[in-house]
Chains A and B, each alone.
Chain A
Amino acid sequence: MFTRRQALLGAAAAAMLAAMPPLAAAANEAEVAALPREKVTLVAPPFVHAHEQVATSGPKVVEFTMPIVEKKVVIDDEGTEFQAMTFNGSMPGPMMVVHEGDYVELTLINLETNSMPHNIDFHAATGALGGGALTLINPGEQVKLRFKATRTGTFVYHCAPEGAMIPWHVVSGMSGTIMVLPRDGLKNEKGEPVRYDQAFYIGENDFYVPRDEDGNFKTYESHGDSYADTLEVMKGLIPTHVVFNGAKGALTGDNAMKLKVGETVLIVHSQANRDTRPHLIGGHGDYVWEEGKFANPPAKDLETWFIRGGSAGAALYTFLQPGVYAYVNHNLIEAVELGATAHFLVEGEWDDDLMKQVEAPGPIPVN
């Protein structure tokens, strides 16, 4: 019979466990420990934390901290309330930037006030379901994951707990992007350096909000309350909202992105769940890494580029004309009716050579 003296673990098992090296004790642990460390404070999209485009030093350990925040947000101009799940409080989660060969060290915190287990799957990482198998934490827990950034490009990260929870958490807002830059920076198809003046991160969200019998969007007291109805809408595969950065109008009006003629922008666009096709109305993609992977030469002069669901792409463009530019998902129904529109406000001098209204509108002449 099992007695209290043998309770918990047998002595042999306990001794064996004590003798085991901790998981992180890899062969190169001393080398990693010797690397310089940098602590980065993340910023909310569409902005990107300050970073070097060309690394001025060797590899380092880059430390990030992200709390997971479950919260109710408004996702459109009709006041539709949505039970969101977020990395760092924003939809999408913040963009992280490191260089190839750096180590990403993330402290992921599941706030005590949250109701569900969460984790993180980095498409940029190798093994353990992108880190998902090593990062599943409950409310009130935190975990620290380190992975080596071995491939360059823009890569989605997202929450991936178990089963039906995975798509639900993702379409509730739990995705973001990490950009791994080549140590010597971005290059065009000829291997010549290309640089940007500013980087913006646009995360596209597809939301599936249930409606009541009258066709009005329903609101719920909690995430759990919304789950069953939301799952039914999700299974129909037709989103009720397709928006940039968590809400219709999140990147328009006061929040429109501001630039000047002659400035070069890097637009990183992610979609963690569904295909999309960004288009800059009146502009182009000078260099576009459609798949977002910098080891491949960029495509040039694109009108519209394709972002596969579950990936992030990057487009580089130098604004040549001032004005208001709409940046849309060129499924125009999704852009106009469902919300997938952002604006760039560009100031500067107009270039008549590129475009001129030769004759103002007027009556059709009669001969």
Chain B
Amino acid sequence: MTTDQNEGVTFDNVGLRYGTDREVLSDVSFTLFPGSFYFLTGASGAGKTSLLKLLYLAQRPSRGAIRMFGTDVITLPRDRLPAYRRRLGVVFQDFRLVPHLSAFDNIALPLRVSGVREADLHKPVTDMLEWVGLSHRAEAHPATLSGGEQQRVAIARAVIGRPDMLVADEPTGNVDPDMALKLLRLFEALNRLGTTVVVATHDVHLLKKVPASLIMRLDKGRLSDPTGALRYPPRRSAMQPGNGSLEPDT
């Protein structure tokens, strides 16, 4: 395993339960190799969103260990977590756009939170709006945007800061197949620049669109890893397109 600063994410026997209910995630162990592209699939209620919440540091697991970028984030004091969150880009399943901010301001939010000067953020935000095809809706508030438009704003907000890891929960659930493909290409472009990408989806057609991707399948809170490749990822050289990608039906 690498020990550099950009070391990926490792889950070790992670379990999660809400309150006193049964565990919604059990014995989840895997390593996200930096710069790889992962799909997380599974039936509705299998625990995809729950797993992503652990990934984007919104939730602590009930048991197990999680290391992120070379640090044990479970024992990390609260006040050190924001620095880690700023290295992530998150597309929430329910978008979570700030209702009284325009599309422009929503996309600019991560940059403003991390102290980018106003003069420096106009161009990236404008470019990003153009790229997701929403230049004409820059001043629109989320309530006046269609579901697909909101989703694109949410994606733009997640990728604007060029995160070390992008976590997207059903990011193409509300757009037509063409737009879905376009957004997937955005994720791939980001991935080629070194961002680890994790996309949760139950759209099996999407999986085939990114040949280099690795598939993580959740079934009732358990991660199936028959070959052990998720737990002990192959060397980076073995993870080039066409190699080592786990087909969903093997």
Bind each other: no
Residues in B lying within 8 Å of A, measured CB to CB: none
Measured CB to CB, the residues of A under 8 A from B are none
